[in-house]
Homo-oligomer: A and B are copies of this chain.
Amino acid sequence: MSNTLAWNELLATRASRMRASEIRELLKLLDQPDIISFAGGIPDPSLFPAEAAKNATVDILSDPKSAAQAMQYSVSEGYAPLRAWIASHMGRLGVACTADNILITNGSQQGLDFLAKLLISPGDTALVTAPTYLGALQAFNPYEPRYDRLNTDGGNVTPAEFEARARDAGGRVKFAYVVPDFANPTGETMSLAARQSLLDMASDLDIAIIEDTAYEALRFEGEPVTPILALDIARQGHIDATRTVYCGTFSKTIAPAYRVGWICAAAPLISKLVLVKQAADLHSSTINQMVMHAIASGHYDAQVEAARDLYRGRRDALVSALERDMPAGVSWTKPEGGLFVWVTLPEAIDGAALLARAIAEERVAFVPGAAFFATDVKRNTIRLNFSSPNEAQINEGIRRLARLIRNS
């Protein structure tokens, strides 16, 4: 990051361009046990396959040869059987590829960091929706992009206008970042037509599309929409000629703490990202990749089904409670999957101010929407998570929150 400070000044000042600290401080407050929290974005731990993880670990570490492999340095691209499993999994999603199209990363977050590291020079432009995933902005910010607003439901400026603005800012448009399925924070899903339009625009601009699919597996109802990468392959004839970079993860389907995600993309790009991975941390944990391979091979579909069932019930409870309790002037999304509902408040209510009162007066928490905007901030918004609170907490929490909003 650009830093012209000397050592002593550096120690004394805050790191530039990282406003995540405020969010972190906020989230720490929320550990207080009497607070009903819609603030997190984490899986319900009752879904974690602890027994399968234990059995896989015991199997791996009981055999001297596999134990030696599991505890030793390994290649930067990732554990070959896991890459092969993921390639096959991608095939089931409509993405024809091989293990050469897969890089293992520490969750999809590390994929976002690597892509910004590879693509962004200071002043270059990243196209992001308003709002977008806060963690993506945190991953991109150290490389000092300029952000321009991407609309996924039409109404974009022309590619030439995007280019002209980027040039005026001293760089070029480098990528468009989207969470096409049950987006964080809105819960919304891009239609097939919206995905095709985005591909048209990316082609005109000759830029990458970063397709963040963290929540893709968590569809509660309706038909899956084809991944952008699959649409790109259909246009280009082969994955190695595509511009779409798919970032996947096991964090929401199996467990986050193994830190195993992946990038699926054109093999020439994967080759470059392998070098980025090697420079960044050599490789992802060998034993974790082996354990994840065992769990994914044996239990992936059952894990996903259990998560869908649990979260579908909570989404239903949340949407019903909102319909039951919220006053006129409040609106919300009705996601077909994922972990989040996005609420738009009356114009006069600031989400951050509401949070302060919600914690103090009603012992309810959520994330103020303003945190998710790189451009065009709408302060009268909040994000509600429904994977952590249970249905009773959801009902009681929304009752309290609605009371506060009615009195605001």
Contact = CB atoms under 8 A, between A and B. Distances in A.
A106 B281 contact: yes
A281 B259 CA distance: 8
A172 to B, nearest CB: 7
Contacts of A109: 279-282
A355 B289 CA distance: 33
Interface in A14-43: 14-15, 18, 20-21, 24, 42-43
Interface stretch (A136-144, A361-369, A372-380, A394-402): A136-144
Contacts of A285: 106, 257-259, 285, 288
Contacts of A251: 73
Given A7-B243, A206-B6, A207-B7, A280 B113 contact: yes
A15 B61 contact: no
Given A257-B73, A286-B257, A68 B48 contact: yes
Interface in A165-212: 172, 206-208
A276 interface: yes
Interface in A277-309: 278-288
Contacts of A14: 272
Nearest to A280: B113
B118 A279 contact: no
B45 A71 contact: yes
A162 to B, nearest CB: 14
Contacts of A42: 72-73
Interface in A239-285: 243, 251, 255-259, 266, 268-269, 272, 275-276, 278-285
A138 to B, nearest CB: 4
17 contacts: A3-B118, A10-B269, A14-B272, A42-B72, A45-B72, A50-B64, A50-B68, A53-B61, A53-B71, A54-B58, A58-B58, A71-B255, A73-B256, A113-B280, A139-B279, A257-B286, A259-B282
Given A11-B268, A18-B275, A285-B285, 13 more contacts: A4-B121, A6-B206, A7-B207, A15-B272, A21-B275, A24-B278, A50-B68, A107-B282, A109-B280, A109-B281, A117-B142, A135-B282, A259-B285
Closest 4 CB pairs of A and B: A45-B68, A257-B286, A71-B255, A50-B67
